[in-house]
Chain A
Amino acid sequence: GESVGLHLPTLSVQEGDNSIINCAYSNSASDYFIWYKQESGKGPQFIIDIRSNMDKRQGQRVTVLLNKTVKHLSLQIAATQPGDSAVYFCAEKSDSWGKLQFGAGTQVVVTP
Chain B
Amino acid sequence: DGGITQSPKYLFRKEGQNVTLSCEQNLNHDAMYWYRQDPGQGLRLIYYSQIVNDFQKGDIAEGYSVSREKKESFPLTVTSAQKNPTAFYLCASSSREGLETQYFGPGTRLLVL
List A residues at the B interface (Cβ < 8 Å): 1-2, 5-8, 32, 34, 36, 41-46, 49, 89, 93, 97-100, 102-105
Selected from B39, B99, B103, the residue in CB contact (under 8 A) with A97 is B99
B54 within 8 A of partner (CB)? no
Quick check: B41 and A6 within 8 Å, CB to CB? Answer: yes
Bound-state Cα–Cα, A49 to B107, Å: 22
Quick check: B99 and A98 within 8 Å, CB to CB? Answer: yes
Closest to B38 in A: A5
A46: chain B residues within 8 A (beta carbon): 101-103
Closest to A93 in B: B100
Quick check: A7 and B40 within 8 Å, CB to CB? Answer: yes
Contact residues of A: prevailing secondary structure = loop
Quick check: A100 and B100 within 8 Å, CB to CB? Answer: yes
Quick check: A5 and B42 within 8 Å, CB to CB? Answer: no
B107: chain A residues within 8 A (beta carbon): 41-43
**Could you say which of B11-19, B43-51, B66-74 contacts chain A?**
B43-51
List B residues at the A interface (Cβ < 8 Å): 4, 6, 31, 38-45, 48, 50, 84, 90, 94, 99-107, 109
Specify which of B6, B42, B45, B107 lies most central, judged by the most chain A CB atoms within 10 Å of its CB: B42
Bound-state Cα–Cα, A104 to B42, Å: 4
Bound-state Cα–Cα, A3 to B23, Å: 28
Quick check: A1 and B106 within 8 Å, CB to CB? Answer: no
Quick check: A43 and B101 within 8 Å, CB to CB? Answer: no
Quick check: A100 and B102 within 8 Å, CB to CB? Answer: yes
B101: chain A residues within 8 A (beta carbon): 34, 46, 49
Quick check: B43 and A43 within 8 Å, CB to CB? Answer: no
A-B pairs with beta carbons under 8 Å apart, 29 shown: A5-B39, A5-B40, A5-B41, A6-B39, A6-B40, A6-B41, A7-B40, A34-B100, A34-B101, A36-B104, A41-B109, A42-B106, A42-B107, A43-B107, A44-B43, A44-B90, A44-B104, A45-B104, A46-B102, A49-B100, A49-B101, A89-B43, A97-B99, A98-B31, A99-B48, A100-B45, A100-B100, A104-B40, A105-B42
